[in-house]
Amino acid sequence: MLISPKRRSHTLNSSAYVQLLDLAKYFGKVKALDGLTLDIAEGELVALLGPSGCGKTTALRALAGLQELDRGAMIVDGQDVTFQKASNRGMGMVFQAYSLFPHMTARENVEYGLRLRVHKTSGQKRKARSAELLELVGLSTHASHYPYQLSGGQQQRVALARAIAISPKVLLLDEPLSALDAKVRTQLREEIRRIQVELGTTTLFVTHDQEEALGIADRVGVMRNGQLEQIAAPAELYDRPKTAFVAEFVGLTNPIAGKVSGGSIEILGGVVKTLPGSITSGSGIALVRPESIDVVASKSGNATVFSASFLGATCRLTISMRDGARITAQLPSPDATGLGAGAGVNVSLLDIPVFVKAAG
């Protein structure tokens, strides 16, 4: 994970470079956007994360000018762009589907936006710029290749270079990695981050893949039903979710019932603090992260291992509790040595605050 210390210091503030204010878009009864408000600081990479139909792509397309809105305003660099045509907004966009112009070479694709600029860039400068950008995305040797001669990952790199070529006010990435295989996806994800940090381009990245979002974004916004459920730095979002939806959507959780009182919950024979936003009293369901569960081998313990999956650095155990409930725990692989299926274990909670939602 590449993290720029400079960008880490960004917080929501009035000096936002991009402001989305109360955006709403309704398709019949479906609320694609229902009062979305979001600020992005200059040079920041914000990822919008959420399930299908949560409105994340609609938000991105609205900012690009490709989606008309029913309500709301969008301000970029102090300018109201709400009613500006997409072709005049100066946004660079990379699409989920391969979008290179098939009749142009990689270089011509990258140069396309430059050729259309109002102050037409001279041929010489254009060539230099496209060469520089293809170099940046590691494809200088493929400049004269046509899209059909490039792999999916290479096509998306060229698309990225093409979007950056026009020095966009905001770089918009609409699930650019979802059509790629896992290895290329991880590699390209990190490259996108490297390039974004290098150029300092303000970026909005839409994805349904939480690993992608948490892996490269300065802040991640979780969307649901057209609204922003929570926006925070990846670690905060993961460790301190403010709603049950965020806790359950980001990362894995084990729902474990317990009794809440005085800002704590009693579960698995222990007491842990609850996070702000949790219910404050009565029966609740704690949403416990697999890594917050401590598992120790013990023949007279309170559970048995049902199955174990080795994931490399960590090991994931599915554990059957005495009452028949199943929970998932994740331990560093060395700690899980000998904990195979059927092994007796004692399960307890680490002292990490948990989010608690109301039971039922």
Partner 1 sequence: MRQTIGVKIWRWSIISVVAFYLVVPLYAMFDFSTKPFGFADSGRTFRAWALIGTQENLIEAVTRSLITAAIVMALILFLVVPTAIWVQLKLPLLRRPFELLCLLPLAIPAIVIVVGIAPLYRWISINLSESPITLAGVYSMLILPYTYRSLSAALDAVDIHTLAEAATTLGAGISRVIFGIIMPTIKTGIINGSFIAIALVLGEFTISNILNFKTFQVVIAQIGRTNGHVAVAVSLASLLFVVVLLLLIPTKKRQGAVLDVDLT
Q: Which residues bind partner 1 (CB under 8 A)?
A: 64-66, 86-93, 95, 97-104, 112-113, 116-117, 159, 162-163, 166, 172
Nearer to partner 1, 160 or 246 (CB): 160
Angle (CA) 92 95 97, round 5° = 155
166 touches 134 (CB < 8 A): no
CA-to-CA distance for 123 and 132, rounded, in angstroms?
A: 14
CA-to-CA distance for 171 and 94, rounded, in angstroms?
A: 8
CB 96 to partner 1: min, Å? 8
Give the other-Cβ count within 10 Å of 324's Cβ.
6
Nearer to partner 1, 157 or 289 (CB): 157
CA-to-CA distance for 61 and 207, rounded, in angstroms?
A: 13
Nearer to partner 1, 3 or 66 (CB): 66
Nearer to partner 1, 174 or 229 (CB): 174
23 touches 59 (CB < 8 A): yes
CB 108 to partner 1: min, Å? 9
CB 185 to partner 1: min, Å? 19
CA-to-CA distance for 301 and 295, rounded, in angstroms?
A: 10
CB 195 to partner 1: min, Å? 18
CA-to-CA distance for 46 and 89, rounded, in angstroms?
A: 19
CB 179 to partner 1: min, Å? 12
Nearer to partner 1, 169 or 224 (CB): 169
Nearer to partner 1, 9 or 148 (CB): 148
Can you say whether the dihedral through the CA atoms of 57, 58, 62, 63 is positive or negative? negative
CB 357 to partner 1: min, Å? 40
Where are the extended beta strands (E) located within 98-196?
170-174
